[in-house]
């Protein structure tokens, strides 16, 4: 366990001792701040319910999904690709530490930064509630649901990005591969709107991040997306571990 925390701190230091953490965080907060401004402007012109605002904030805001799909590759592209490029992967792999600990520590570092970025948006719902014309107090359920859904989806997509970084030494290739995979998964999740085949429509709806987020922000925590994202995360982490083992041999 001590080795894990040492590598976890090393990974966090690698983020914050380079421009990547600051650039990505500033980019993320600027876009989310702009989305917040659009919501405030909407509330000033129209009567919008708080649940409707939560759906806008966590699912339907104009730049929510593009920002999400850009931030994840930027956070994960350097995980192993930079180790391969600089040659430090050999030192890391020959150290008295298992591959599993290396994978988990690197993943925990990216997930920690991801959570810290979203933590900065926690005041948004309460500011919106303070300026809302609704007499009812803010329902904490949709707020928690929105953050839970965002965390689960980010957890899964970060594991995808980590896997992409594990099979190349080029950070740009890793970022493009991650963006392509999560972009394809998001697009497939919208196929149910136009599909005529019942099976295809059901599968698309089951994996749709947009539908999952809309359910979460309504306070509906369905076990199916939870199982999907958790099992998908474990699968991608295990694939990353297998990739490292293959490179070792």
pLDDT tens digit string along 207-233? 999 889 888 888 777 888 999 999 999
Q: Which residue has the higher pLDDT, 163 or 60?
A: 163
Give the pLDDT score at 142.
79
Q: What is the 3-state secondary structure (H, E, C) of the chain?
A: CHHHHHHHHHHHHHHHCCHHHHHHHHHHHHHHHHHHHHHHHHHHHCCCCHHHHHHHHHHHCCCHHHHHHHHHHHHHCCCCHHHHHHCHHHHHHHCCCCHHHHHHHHHHHHHHHHHHHHHCCCHHHHHHHHCCCCCCCCCHHHHHHHHHHHHHHHHHHHHHHHHHHHCCCCHHHHHHHHHHHHHHHHHHCCHHHCCCCHHHHHHHHHHCHHHHHHHHHCCCCCHHHHHHHHHHHHHHHHHHHHHHHHHHC
Q: What percent of the chain has pLDDT over 70?
A: 89
pLDDT tens digit string along 93-107? 777 778 888 889 999
Confidence of residue 4 (pLDDT cuts 50, 70, 90): confident
Confidence of residue 110 (pLDDT cuts 50, 70, 90): very high
Q: What is the mean pLDDT of residues 41-55?
A: 67
Q: What is the mean pLDDT of residues 25-47?
A: 82
Give the pLDDT score at 131.
67
Average pLDDT value over all residues in the chain: 85
Q: What is the mean pLDDT of residues 50-59?
A: 70
Whole-model pTM over 0.75? yes
Q: In 62-98, which residue ranges form alpha helices assigned H by DSSP?
A: 64-76, 81-86, 88-94
Give the pLDDT score at 244.
82
Terminal Cα distance for the chain, rounded:
26
Domains of the chain by residue range = 2-248
Confidence of residue 134 (pLDDT cuts 50, 70, 90): low
Q: Which of 4-13, 56-65, 154-163, 235-244 bottoms out in mean pLDDT, i.e. has the lowest? A: 56-65
Give the pLDDT score at 5.
84
pLDDT tens digit string along 159-180? 999 999 988 888 999 999 999 9
């Amino acid at each position: 366990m001590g080795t894990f925390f040492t590598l976890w701190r090393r990974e966090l230091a690698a983020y914050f001792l380079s421009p990547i953490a600051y650039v990505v965080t500033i980019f993320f907060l600027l876009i989310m701040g702009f989305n917040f401004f659009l919501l405030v402007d909407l509330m000033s012109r129209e009567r919008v319910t708080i649940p409707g605002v939560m759906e806008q904030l966590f699912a339907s805001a104009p730049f929510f999904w593009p920002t999400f799909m850009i931030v994840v590759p930027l956070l994960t592209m350097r995980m192993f690709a930079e180790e391969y490029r600089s040659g430090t992967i050999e030192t890391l792999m020959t150290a008295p530490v298992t591959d599993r600990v290396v994978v988990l520590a690197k993943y925990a570092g990216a997930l920690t930064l991801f959570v810290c970025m979203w933590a900065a948006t926690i005041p948004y719902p309460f500011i919106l509630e303070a300026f809302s014309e609704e007499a009812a107090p803010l329902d904490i359920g949709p707020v928690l649901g929105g953050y839970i859904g965002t965390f689960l989806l980010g957890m899964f997509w970060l594991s995808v990005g980590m896997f992409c970084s594990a099979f190349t030494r080029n950070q740009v290739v890793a970022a493009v591969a991650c963006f392509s995979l999560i972009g394809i998964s998001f697009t497939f999740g919208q196929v149910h709107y136009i599909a005529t085949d019942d099976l295809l429509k059901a599968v698309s709806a089951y994996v749709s991040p947009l539908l999952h987020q809309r359910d979460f922000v309504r306070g509906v925590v369905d076990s199916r997306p939870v199982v999907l994202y958790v099992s998908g995360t474990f699968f991608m982490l295990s694939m990353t571990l297998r990739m490292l083992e293959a490179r070792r041999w």
